[in-house]
Structure 1
Amino acid sequence: MTPRAPALGLLLDVDGPIASPITRSIDLPEITRDLVALAAAGVPLVFNTGRSDAFIRHEVVAPLLAAGLAPDARVFGVCEKGAVWFAIGERFGPAGIGEVHVDRSLAMPADFVDEMRDLVATRFADRVFFDETKHAMVSVEQLTSIDTAAYLEFQPVFDSLAREALQRRGFGVQRLDDVRPDASGDVQWRIDPTIISTDIESIRLGKDLGAARALELLSDGGELPVSWRTVGDSRSDYAMADWLHSNGYSVEHVDVRPADGVPEKPYPIRESASGAIHDEAGAEFLAGWLREVS
């Protein structure tokens, strides 16, 4: 008998819907509990994030293993917006993740990486840190010791210096809110400011590439879900649902921070009925989906 396809699959951003954007950890125990229960019910889970594999190992995988993630669960991580991917589960030992795959063709130039590291160390170490765990992207993140308003006031200064450093090397540079150019043009790199960081990355990276990686991973191990739910806290996260919809999959997107504005899309968009945001909204939706599949 052919195994029945899962009724539901989840493609989840991490910062915001799962981990608190303030503490950068999973603060609500019901989130871990319900993720484990959903996986046990046969729901494939893919964390599609700009975070590194090291971050996911420590802040997501470790709590899932401690909560009893089933050995045969279909759980995967797609990190750095599609540049890095791996399987998750206790079958991989104490670290909980399988072989980490990295697409090196998407990595930033080494001399630019070095310059950004030095820039943070010499000028901005009291406000941000340089994320040494990234394989392809350059990420500079707000210290939790400073408040959001102070960080967002400083962020454009760093972003401008990063743009200048790329232009000095002869590269075109795109901000995320620019019109997306053809990847074959002279623009190779993108600056993506978020509410807690700035990511500098190949324009080929994005949550749409992450969605494509996710389906490749799931296709190797069983039937694909009948319907998808994508979850995020920024406008760039809609690219997950855009990709799924454009490739013929049934999808609904959950926006856990709709204050940025909810765009018009050809698929359903959901917000928390209670008005909750970030991980509190994420917890609400996970609990609801668990009731559905149970």
Structure 2
Amino acid sequence: MPAATAGKTAQGLLLDVDGPIASPVSRTVPAGIISDLLTLAAAGWPVVFNTGRSDAFIREQVMAPMIASGIPAGVTFHAVCEKGATWFSFTADGAGEVFVDRGLALPVSFADDVRDLVEEKYADLMFFDETKLAMVSVEQTLTATNADYLVGQRAFDDDALEIMHSHDMGACRLDREEPDSNGDIEYRVDPTIISTDIESVRVGKDVGAERALTLVAPFMDIPRTWRTVGDSRTDYAMADYLHEQGFDVAHVDVRPADGVPAKPYDVMTEGELIHEEAGAAFLARCVASLS
């Protein structure tokens, strides 16, 4: 990867995708964000996407527009997907091999039952994400309103838990304090504003952050300063992990209305801006810092 701009110290960027990078409405990435990420990577900043999204989504919505805009020679981007369960890197030549931690994958029979549930009961509100390789996810359709989806999501999450019980899968819900199983908790149901992820309890944004460092290390000296960006409380786990490892980190929260927790590192916001508009403002300031 190219050296950092003369006189400037490269910072690492660890970015959630839905919300701060991709619009939660259109699911696409604004051209300005693509341009700024390319500029920062060309200046020697490691850029890693740390997302619950699949590798297929990153290839389509992030990698493809970057390649179309022109990824500079020598620049490599990294993507940790499905909250650490899958990962790959990409350059101007396209995506490299996609790696999957099979030990984190959910049973195929459970995924089949969830697919049937969506098709039979919730198809007007959500679709089954066929691109996931380890977790099981459903997502709001583009034609449904978010208000309607969120109502249906609560019923879906309850139904999904019933299916998990029928498969003897110990599970809990992140939006409830008490577990939904008397047995060992191996899986969790994680609802977001446009989706529900059903996943191993051993995945998470901290797992993604650890994976990110291993991906960056072969390409450059790992920067001591990092900025993590996310739109949910679970995204703080990225900064938590880096702080625990001794890095200088600050977290950028692009949806602070959900509540900003007290942290031993700086938490940044972009005024009244939220989601991809806040992400764009933050990245623009990063680019301005290069001059």
TM-score range, shorter chain: over 0.9
Task: Provide, for residues 28-57 of structure 1, a one-character-per-residue CA deviation record: whole Å limited to 9, x for no partner.
Answer: 321111011011111100000000000000
Q: Which amino acid aligns with 1:46?
A: V
- The letter for the 2-side match of 1:72 is G
**Residue 233 of structure 1, CA deviation:** 0.5
Distance 1:178 1:215, change over 3 A: farther
What does 1:209-248 align with in structure 2 at a 5 Å threshold? Answer: 209-248=207-246
Matched position secondary structure for 2:151 = helix
| Residue pairs, 1:15-164, within 5 angstroms | 15-26=18-29, 28-90=30-92, 93=93, 96-164=94-162
Q: Shift in Å at residue 180 of structure 1?
A: 10
Q: How many angstroms apart in 2 are the aligned matches of 1:170 and 1:30? A: 47
Q: Is the 8 A contact 1:211 1:240 kept in 2?
A: yes
C-alpha contact (below 8 Å) 1:6/1:223 kept by paired residues: no
Please give the secondary structure, in 2, of the residue aligned with 1:263: coil
Report the Cα distance in structure 1 between the residues aligned to 2:275 and 2:80, rounded to whole angstroms.
20
Amino acid at match of 2:196: T
CA offset at residue 290 of structure 1? Answer: 1.0
CA distance in 2, matches of 1:193, 1:29: 28
Displacement after TM superposition at 1:6 (Å)? 5.2
Q: 1:175 to 1:76 in 2, by over 3 A?
A: same
Deviation at 1:226? 2.1
Is the alpha carbon distance of 1:23 and 1:104 closer, same or farther for their aligned partners in structure 2, counting shifts above 3 Å? Answer: same
The aligned counterpart of 2:282 is 285
* Cα distance per residue 1:170-189 (max 9 Å; x no partner): 222121245699xxx81100
Matching residue's letter, 2:11: L
CA distance in 2, matches of 1:231, 1:180: 29
Q: Any stretches of 5+ residues in structure 1 without a counterpart?
A: none
TM-score by length of structure 1 reads: 0.93
Q: Please tell me the residue identity of whatever aligns with 1:65.
A: I
**Secondary structure of the equivalent of 1:140?**
strand
Percent identity of equivalent pairs? 57
1:222 CA displacement: 1.6
Per-residue deviation, residues 123-172 of structure 1 (Å, max 9, x unmatched): 11111100000000100000010111000011010000111111222222
User: Structure 1 CA distance, aligned partners of 2:10 and 2:210?
Assistant: 19
Paired AA for residue 285 in structure 1: F
- DSSP-derived class of the 1:283 partner: helix
Report the residue type matching 1:20 in the other structure: S
Match of 1:190 in 2: 188
**Does residue 9 of structure 1 match 2:12?**
yes
Q: Secondary structure at the match of 2:164?
A: helix
Gap runs ≥5 in structure 2: none
CA separation in 2, counterparts of 1:117 and 1:147? 21
Is the Cα contact below 8 Å between 2:122 and 2:152 reproduced in 1?
Answer: no
TM-score for the superposition, normalised by structure 2: 0.94
Q: What is the alpha-carbon distance in structure 2 between the residues aligned to residue 177 and residue 262 of structure 1?
A: 17
Letter in 2 for 1:281: A
Moved over 3 A (4+): 3-6, 177-181
Q: For the residues of structure 1 that align with 2:78 and 2:55, how far apart are their CA atoms?
A: 11
